Structure formats: structure tokens, C-alpha cells
């Protein structure tokens, strides 16, 4: 591989463009400094074992990996449009047509991984990569499987990102793949109105968690005045506090608004 320019960086890794010499294919290589992973080695092992087994157009592909004493190299599909967090920061809100396409993309990815009993546990805009398609349309791919796991029985580990965490994780009643659908509901709410459904005024995490556990949704004026009832109905169905009443990813794809 010939390694090229930096296309992204994070706390533990730098992502660079690379070219496969034999085929000429342009890919991405995630270069992880192993010293920075102290205590989190399992997250990378997780990503390698789970992502390596997945093949779906809405999930970022892992093609190969190599390790030295100091670094790990993950050769992945190159997605050049940044992530959804950056897109939201630039745009603020999206039309219902754009948001519907994004929900469809993420639901397809979730439906696929959930069919394999994999729960992602960190669905958020930063982990949704933007693929620029024809006519300026943005498509999404799900990435970063560091917290993902196979669930054959309810899980209890509290993890994820506070804004997107589902009530059953906080209630410690045991959870499964439905937590990913809750996170999709939070993302849809942000796409349509520009902010999350549950917010603490002074960024108090305990207050935020109480609001999430209560699960009272308010479609605040004027931000929701122009949003269709069909879109609101989907947000309600995704942000259903009872996970047994929440839509599945597959059911989301069949919702009339999507």
C-alpha cells in the first residue's frame, strides 16, 4: 500500500488515504498508536472481529489488518464526505426528504447487523460516514464498531454517548439491539429540528439521564411547526421508552414516511 494524505483523526488513530499497489484501488488506512489504547485493546479486537465478518453497502468495509509492536493498521473502505456530525454542524437542519433517506440508510445498516445479533451501542452522527452520491445527495454508512457486541441475552454494561443512550441502559434492566433504534430516533430528531430531544439546560448529566428515563417528548414550536405528522409519528415510535414497543430497524424501513 502507498500511504497518502490524512482524511481524519481521533483520540487513538489517524485515518489516511492509501492506494493498493496491485489493483490501484483507493482505500483508507486507520493507523492506531497501540500505546494510546492502554486498557482499550478489547475495543479494537472487537472492531476487527465484528467488522471483518460484515459485508453490506451501508456498513463501512474492513478489508485487511496488520500489526506491529507500536501500531495497528486497518485497511478500510474510503468514505470521503466526512461524518454526519460535521454535516449537522455546517447545515443545522435537513429537509424531510434528506432526513428520510438518511434514516433509511441507517435502518438498513442496523437491520443487517441486528439480523446477526450484533448491537452497535454507539450509533451517533460521529460514527455515520457521509458518502457523496450523484446530484448532491448524501448517503450514510455505519462505522466504528469499537463498542459493538453479539447479544444472545440481555446486556447490562452501561456504555455509549450520553445524548444517544437509551432509557433501558440507564435503568439497568437489561438491553438488546433496540438501543440502536433509540439512538436513530435521537439522530432523526436532531436532523429535523437541529437539537436533541432530551437536553439539560446546564449540561448536567444526571438531569439529562432523568429526562431520558422519563421519555417525555415535546415537539417545540416554532422548530416543529413545519414538520409533517408522519415524521413526528416516526420520531415517537423510535423514541418509545419501552423497548418492546419501539419499532425495529426492519419496521422502520416499512414506515410510510421513510
Q: Which residues are annotated as a binding site?
A: 30
User: Averaged over 97-109, what is the pLDDT?
Assistant: 97
Q: Which residues are annotated as a binding site for ATP?
A: 30
User: Averaged over 200-220, what is the pLDDT?
Assistant: 94
Q: Do 63 and 47 share a structural domain?
A: yes
pLDDT per residue as tens digits for the range 233-251? 999 999 999 999 999 999 9
pLDDT over 70 for what percent of the chain?
Answer: 100
Name the more confident of 105 and 42. 105
Flag whether pLDDT at 98 surpasses 90.
yes
User: Averaged over 107-134, what is the pLDDT?
Assistant: 95
> Looking at residue 249, what is its pLDDT?
99
Which residues are the active-site residues?
122
Question: Of 47, 76, 105, which residue sits at a domain end?
Answer: 76
Q: Do 86 and 62 share a structural domain?
A: no
pLDDT per residue as tens digits for the range 137-179? 789 999 989 899 999 999 999 988 999 999 999 999 999 999 9
Q: Do 223 and 96 share a structural domain?
A: yes
Mean pLDDT of the chain: 93
Q: Do 182 and 103 share a structural domain?
A: yes
Spatial distance between the Cα atoms of 117 and 189, rounded to a whole number of angstroms: 26
User: What is the CATH number for 169?
Assistant: 1.10.510.10
Q: Do 198 and 142 share a structural domain?
A: yes
Contact 127, 83 (CB under 8 A): yes
Q: Do 106 and 69 share a structural domain?
A: no
> Looking at residue 10, what is its pLDDT?
74
Helix residue ranges per DSSP H, the chain: 41-51, 84-91, 96-115, 167-170, 178-193, 205-214, 229-238, 249-253
Spatial distance between the Cα atoms of 118 and 195, rounded to a whole number of angstroms: 28
Question: Of 76, 93, 115, which residue sits at a domain end?
Answer: 76
Domain coverage including residue 157: 82-254
> Looking at residue 13, what is its pLDDT?
85
Distances (CA, A) of 61 to 44, 145, 169: 15, 11, 28
- Pick from 73-82, 115-124, 184-193: least confident: 73-82
> Looking at residue 36, what is its pLDDT?
82
Q: Do 151 and 43 share a structural domain?
A: no
Closest CA to 174 of 150, 156, 151: 156
**pTM for the whole thing?**
0.92
- Pick from 24-28, 106-110, 201-205: least confident: 201-205
Closest CA to 50 of 165, 156, 151, 187: 151
Q: Do 120 and 216 share a structural domain?
A: yes
User: What is the CATH number for 67?
Assistant: 3.30.200.20
> Looking at residue 186, what is its pLDDT?
99
Q: Do 63 and 141 share a structural domain?
A: no
Coarse DSSP helix, strand, coil percentages of the chain, rounded to the nearest 5 percent = 40, 20, 40
pLDDT per residue as tens digits for the range 36-64? 877 777 778 888 889 889 999 999 999 99
Q: Do 56 and 175 share a structural domain?
A: no
Q: Do 146 and 27 share a structural domain?
A: no
Question: Of 76, 97, 114, which residue sits at a domain end?
Answer: 76
Q: Do 210 and 145 share a structural domain?
A: yes
- Pick from 6-15, 98-107, 216-225, 240-249: least confident: 6-15
**Number of domains into which the chain is organized:** 2
Spatial distance between the Cα atoms of 251 and 218, rounded to a whole number of angstroms: 23
> Looking at residue 157, what is its pLDDT?
92
Amino acid at each position: 500500500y502507498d500511504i497518502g494524505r490524512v482524511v481524519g483523526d481521533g483520540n487513538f488513530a489517524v485515518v489516511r488515504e492509501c492506494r493498493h499497489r496491485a489493483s490501484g484501488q483507493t482505500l483508507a488506512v486507520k493507523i492506531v498508536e497501540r500505546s494510546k489504547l492502554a486498557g482499550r485493546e478489547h475495543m479494537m479486537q472487537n472492531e476487527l472481529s465484528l467488522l471483518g465478518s460484515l459485508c453490506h453497502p451501508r456498513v463501512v468495509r474492513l478489508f485487511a489488518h496488520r500489526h506491529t509492536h507500536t501500531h495497528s493498521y486497518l485497511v478500510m473502505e474510503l468514505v470521503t464526505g466526512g461524518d454526519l456530525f460535521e454535516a449537522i454542524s455546517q447545515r443545522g437542519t435537513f429537509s424531510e426528504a434528506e432526513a428520510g433517506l438518511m434514516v433509511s440508510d441507517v435502518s438498513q445498516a442496523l437491520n443487517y447487523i441486528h439480523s446477526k445479533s450484533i448491537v452497535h451501542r454507539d450509533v451517533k452522527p460521529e460514527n455515520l460516514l457521509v458518502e457523496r452520491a450523484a446530484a448532491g445527495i448524501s448517503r450514510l454508512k455505519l462505522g466504528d464498531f469499537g463498542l459493538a457486541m453479539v447479544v444472545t441475552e440481555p446486556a447490562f454494561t452501561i456504555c455509549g454517548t450520553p445524548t444517544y443512550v437509551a432509557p433501558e441502559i440507564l435503568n439497568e434492566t437489561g438491553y438488546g439491539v433496540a438501543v440502536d433504534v433509540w439512538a436513530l430516533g435521537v439522530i432523526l430528531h436532531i436532523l429535523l429540528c437541529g437539537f436533541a430531544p432530551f437536553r439539560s439546560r446546564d449540561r448536567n448529566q444526571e438531569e439529562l439521564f432523568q429526562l431520558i428515563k422519563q421519555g417525555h417528548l415535546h415537539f417545540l414550536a416554532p422548530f416543529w411547526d413545519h414538520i409533517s405528522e408522519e415524521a413526528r409519528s416516526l420520531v415517537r415510535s423510535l423514541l418509545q421508552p419501552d423497548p418492546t414497543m419501539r419499532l425495529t430497524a426492519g419496521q422502520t424501513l416499512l414506515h410510510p414516511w421513510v
